[in-house]
Amino acid sequence: MPAGTVSWNSVVTITKGITLQGATTVANAGTKSATANDLTVIKDDSPLNTTSSGLIKAALTPAQSFRLTGFTFTHGSRTSLNGIGVVHLTSSTGSSPTSNMRVDHCHFDHIYGRNIQTDGWAYGVADHNYIVAQSNAQSFYINCGNYGGLHIWPWCVGYYPWFGTNKFFLSKTIPWSAMAGVPTSGAIDAEYGARYVVRHNDFTNCRPGWHGTEGGNRGARAVEIYDNSFHWTMIPTAMNRSGTALIHDNKWDGNPSSNSIAFSNRTLQGIRCCDSERHIWNGRRNKPLGYE
């Protein structure tokens, strides 16, 4: 797509394996000094929380691949938070994963709602992006409810964590909150058996997190967080309330000086495990542990 600015009032759904490329470039991704030239700009005027919400949805089969690169996504006239990501990556079948999805070198500029969302059984990578969150919006919302080919999403938490593989990767991205004093602004959130890796990113006043079962849904399954920089000018929060997590080799600065402890403590409190022989939500017998 050429340079220019347009406003979309409905999502475009992509079901073919393609590369969709604009003219926007992102420089210094993964650092605090990232910039974007915003040449190809799409404004989000889509409705709230309907099948028409968002801007680009990719629903692919396991044999297809998709790349989205070189776009700036920003808000339109609507200022209410949307629960659907402006970029929505999902699998079109539950029999095996859709593994080749990439969002890179895009600028997400004050979107009122979720920025990048995954659903179904989708793997891929979001890298070299520049995200400035607006209000209580989330930079990423990661779900993996059909993991293992299971269409009953609570059972996906019974599988092994498989640290190092079988996840959605978030890399060389700059989530940044535009809302001083709102620690959940720009956060990464996840549930429905989510599996994701956060590495080589630079965060300002926002953090990775994931839900437990307190909201009525199943929580995340496995998360890895390493080699990231976190900068805080306000009191941070950490909401890591389910599954297993591997967190190491991150850098922290700002307020307070004990940021790193917050993640460890909250994650340990959030782990819930049980005997899979007796647990109704696990769905897989003869496995060592099922995690909520």
Q: Tell me the per-residue pLDDT of 140-160, one tens digit each, with 9 for 90 and over.
A: 999 987 777 665 444 444 455
Determine the pLDDT at residue 87.
98
**Cα 276 to Cα 292: distance, rounded to the nearest angstrom:** 11
Residue 261, pLDDT score: 41
Question: In this predicted model, what pLDDT tens digit does every residue of 40-51 receive, in sequence order?
Answer: 999 999 999 999
Quote the pTM value. 0.84
Contact 188, 198 (CB under 8 A): yes
Q: What was the pLDDT predicted at 233? A: 85
**Which two three-digit tokens encode residue 251?**
């850098």
Q: What is the pLDDT of residue 163?
A: 65
Please give the Cα distance from 53 to 65 (Å, whole number).
23
Average pLDDT over residues 5-33: 96
Mean pLDDT of 63-67: 96
pLDDT at residue 36 tops 80: yes
Q: What confidence score (pLDDT) does residue 45 get?
A: 97
Q: Which strands form 251-254's sheet, in the order they lie side by side?
A: 4-8, 40-44, 72-75, 107-111, 130-133, 174-177, 202-204, 229-232, 251-254
| Residue-level pLDDT at 180 | 56
Q: Write down the mean pLDDT value for the chain.
A: 81
Mean pLDDT over residues 232-241, rounded?
77
